[in-house]
Amino acid sequence: MKIIDARVIVTCPGRNFVTLKVETQEGVTGVGDATLNGRELAVASYLTDHVVPALIGRDAARIEDTWQYLYRGAYWRRGPVTMSAIAAVDTALWDIKGKVAGLPVYQLLGGRSRDGVTVYGHANAESVEQVCAEVARYVEMGYRAVRVQTGIPGLAATYGVGKDKLFYEPADAAIPTEAQWSTDRYLHHIPGVFARVRDEFGPNLKLLHDVHHRLTPIEAARLGQLLEPYALTWMEDPVPAELQEGFRLIRQHTTTPIAVGEVFNTVWDCQQLIREQLIDYVRATVVHAGGITHLRRIFDLAALHHVRSGSHGATDLSPVCMAAALHLDVSIPNFGLQEYMRHTEATDAVFPHTYRFADGYLHPSEEPGLGVDIDEELAAGYPYRPASLPVNRLEDGTLHHW
Ligand code: EZ4
Ligand code: CO
């Protein structure tokens, strides 16, 4: 089953996506997501210039060996660009293996461990009143879990609060726009938001919140304590996670569960967090953490330490990534939650897929392979547009974590 072609498709149906399509001599094709928000062309070049030439002629059936070849064989290991490129190849090869076997990929991973994949939606709005209306909308659509983000009085713009309701899109300009941050204003405001939302929606709705890496460990510990009465399912990315041992301090002070991992690339980014049980959910994704092959290793290590999955699923992860994530989500024993931000109609049209939402669950495709493709003709009508994530400054002008 020789690989005879692999091409990188960059398209912007509302936002930029990078997709790898691999083709075998027998005419079987597979797709993989390689999108790295704001750094799309770096991954496209890594694939086109360095990976694709070495793929031609290789056996598409050798998924593990190809993974090792691209990881160990490159000498330069890890990092988001490298690991997104490896992920795209790995995902495409799993797609091909499923199609050849005539089975959906989750069957190759051991079959179902559950009936559906619980997802969470994003309620975001400027005020507490408006955000309650947004939460109600998600509850009406059948969601069992909702992430809640609001504006912060005194700050012009806040992470997580956008113009569109179903499609929060932070990459908004070619050169990064500048947002403003105040930890004091934030810590003062957020507990009241959750008091109100919990009061209005009762104990059965799962509530989540994304801090987006902006606090120090002791500040995060304080926020976790203040939120304890409202029983959050998780507090996400409380602090930047380069310093894994920093989470110990948060852990010592609060029982609010902690989720982290959307910027992780390999198991080495979270092995201490997992082994020392410093987190509750690991949120790494297929596209940024080396594909199905490597993400499953991360989830297996997590399973040994009472850590569950909670994969990232924002709009910058294409339907190809979502399709792949769902096959993993439905098969692993320690699934927690899957983030699900809907894509625009243009994106859904470029990436035809057969996973579906019903009653608060996403269901993976039952088709052989991943059950997702890219319409290359349609994709060609949406050329790349430069778009960067914003940067963030404190009120005195200091550059802060975005
Ligand atoms: O900022 O996907 O949980 N979701 C998030 C997202 C991320 C973007 C970065 O590309 O934190 O909004
Ligand atoms: Co996040």
At 164, the pLDDT band (50, 70, 90 cuts) reads confident
Confidence at residue 167, expressed as pLDDT on a 0 to 100 scale:
77
Which positions ≥6 away from 252 have C-beta within 8 Å? 221
b/e code 314-334 from CB counts within 10 Å (16+ = b): bbbbbbbbbbbbbbbbbbbeb
Specify which residues 258 forms β-bridges with.
235
- pLDDT of 292 > 80? The answer is yes
Give me the sign of the Cα torsion angle 129, 133, 138, 143: positive
**Ligand 2 (ion): which residues have CB within 5 A?**
210, 262
Report the pLDDT averaged over residues 1-26: 98
Cα–chain-centroid distance for residue 279?
Answer: 17
d(CA 170, CA 161): 9
Ligand nearest the Cα of residue 236 is: 2
Report the pLDDT averaged over residues 255-274: 98
- pLDDT of 166 > 90? The answer is no
Q: Which burial class, exposed, middle or buried, applies to 229 when counting CB atoms under 10 A from its CB (0-12, 13-18, 19+)? A: exposed
At 162, the pLDDT band (50, 70, 90 cuts) reads confident
Residue 127, Cβ neighbours under 10 Å: how many?
Answer: 12
**Cα(162) to centroid of ligand 2, in Å?**
14
Nearest to 82 by CA among 266, 244, 299: 266
- pLDDT of 327 > 80? The answer is yes
Q: Is 37 in the pocket of ligand 1 (CB under 6 A)?
A: yes
Contact 367, 356 (CB under 8 A): no
Q: How many Cα neighbours within 13 Å face the side chain of 264?
A: 31
Residue-wise DSSP of 51-72:
IHHHHTTSBTT-HHHHHHHHHT
Q: Is 40 in the pocket of ligand 1 (CB under 6 A)?
A: no
Give me the sign of the Cα torsion angle 41, 42, 43, 48: positive
pLDDT tens track for 330-386? 999 999 999 999 999 999 999 999 999 999 999 999 999 999 999 999 999 999 999
pLDDT tens track for 40-66? 999 999 999 999 999 999 999 999 999
At 163, the pLDDT band (50, 70, 90 cuts) reads confident
Confidence at residue 175, expressed as pLDDT on a 0 to 100 scale:
96
Write down how long the chain is.
Answer: 402
Ligand 1 atom at shortest distance from the alpha carbon of 341: 4
d(CA 23, CA 35): 20
Q: How many Cα neighbours within 13 Å face the side chain of 280?
A: 16
pLDDT tens track for 169-207? 899 899 999 999 999 999 999 999 999 999 999 999 999
Backbone angles phi, psi at 397, to 5 degrees: 100, -5
Q: Which domains does the chain have, with CATH numbers?
A: 3-104 (3.30.390.10), 108-366 (3.20.20.120)
- Tokens representing 358? 């019903």
**Cα(212) to centroid of ligand 2, in Å?**
6
Report the pLDDT averaged over residues 118-146: 97
